[in-house]
Amino acid sequence: MSHPHDPRAATFACAWCGLTVSSVADDGVPRNHCPSCLHSRHVLDHVEGGPSDCEGRMPPLSIAVPRTGDWRIIHRCVRCDELTSSPVHADDNRLVLMRMAVRPLAQPPFPLEAFGDL
């Protein structure tokens, strides 16, 4: 049984799908996004002079893979447009993650026929 002040006992409701989510992922790392739809809420402003408690919904935009090789989810706040990133957790929805990861290849900014001329 968890202690009442145990951070693993803390939960939040997803701003998009309403799922009740543990504030700590299965891997023991603090979580700030829904493992099902990957949406987050803007609760910590990283921009100097920005609205510190914006509380805007933050849909997932894309996947970034820094030099460490660890995947990160890029979110953008619908209220103030701030971009943030958060680590991918083992229990995050793999289908949604893969859809975001392949989107640039599936929708390139140029016609694919251009490769035939190379």
Residues in the chain, total: 118
pLDDT for residue 46: 62
Number of domains composing the chain: 1
Q: Is residue 41 part of a domain?
A: yes
Q: In this model, does residue 1 exceed pLDDT 80?
A: no
Q: Are the C-beta atoms of 21 and 14 separated by less than 8 Å?
A: yes
The per-residue pLDDT of the chain, averaged, comes to 85
Q: Determine, yes or no, domain membership for 1.
A: no
* pLDDT higher at 44 or 104: 104
Q: Is residue 115 situated within a structural domain?
A: no
Question: Residue 5 above 70 pLDDT?
Answer: no
Indicate whether 112 belongs to any domain: no
Residue 77 located in a structural domain: yes
Give 40: exposed, middle or buried? Use CB within 10 Å, 0-12, 13-18, 19+.
buried
Q: How many angstroms separate the Cα of 28 from the Cα of each of 9, 25, 63? A: 12, 5, 21
> Is 2 within a domain?
no
Whether residue 111 lies inside any domain: the answer is: no
What range defines the domain where residue 45 resides?
7-104
Query: Given a cut of 70, is residue 58 above it in pLDDT?
Result: yes
Residue 54 domain flag: yes
